Amino acid sequence: MPKQYSHHLFKNYHKTHVAYLDTEDKLEWFREYAKNNYLFLLKDRNKSSTKILEIGCNKGYLIYVLSEYGYQNLYGIDLSDEDIIHAKEMNTNSHIECIDAFSYLKNKSNTFDVIILKAVLEHVPKEDIFPLLNLIHSSLNSGGMVVIDVPNMDWLFASHERYMDYTHETGFTRESIAQVLRNVFVDVSVNKSNPVFSYRGFLSKIIYFLRPIVFYVIHIILIIIGEGASDVWWSNRSIIATGIKEEEMQ
């Protein structure tokens, strides 16, 4: 369950935090992010029958994008009253509730086919992570999938990512998120997220040209530093892990 100070902060999350951070078109950003990172994970699942739950749905942008791509059974929960109002207005054909995940999932055994947590698990106290993942496992149908998208603590600016939000409780690298998920799910996979760039026109072309060159130079520097520095995923802001609920015997 959320700690008391976290519950207070989440209740006012948009007004006291997110409103000061969002400066771009978030819907368009989510369209690009979902296309680059999530849609291929869902490609083998039936759009009309697959039940997808997003824990921490925020204002409902990802749910809206999934509906644009034809997914019809969409559910979302969040702790922010203000965000849920927006999410409901944006997703009139989806099932949106203001409730914490522990309360919501306790009676949802074998209900969902996919459960997505984007930028959520880092907000969960360490002692509550396994109870939450066990509830998620129970709430998935046989062969169901959890998708967990978290900030990457190997990123060059991971320190800022870790402490930019007072509700952040822990951080993950590709090794630690895989370690956690292997204790609950099978077929665990961890991948780098693909970024979304807001640049357009000539500047965008320059960025795309220079980016691999800069990355190559930094990689060479990390090889020289040694101590395994070149093996960390320092170039990606987020990591996306998936786990599958084992197939149940008929």
- Distance CA(188)–CA(240), nearest Å, equals 11
Angstrom distance (rounded) from CA 60 to CA 9:
19
What are phi and psi for residue 156, nearest 5 degrees? -55, -35
Half-sphere exposure for 152 (CA within 13 Å, toward CB) = 22
Burial class (CB in 10 A: 0-12, 13-18, 19+), 141: middle
209/157: higher pLDDT:
157
CA-based torsion, 74, 77, 83, 84: positive or negative: positive
Alpha helices per DSSP H over 155-200: 158-163, 174-182
pLDDT 10s digits, 168-206: 999 999 999 999 999 999 999 999 999 887 666 777 778
Q: How confident is the model at residue 58 (pLDDT cuts 50, 70, 90)?
A: very high
For the chain, domains (ranges, CATH) are 4-195+236-244 (3.40.50.150)
Do 142 and 230 contact (CB within 8 A), yes or no?
A: no
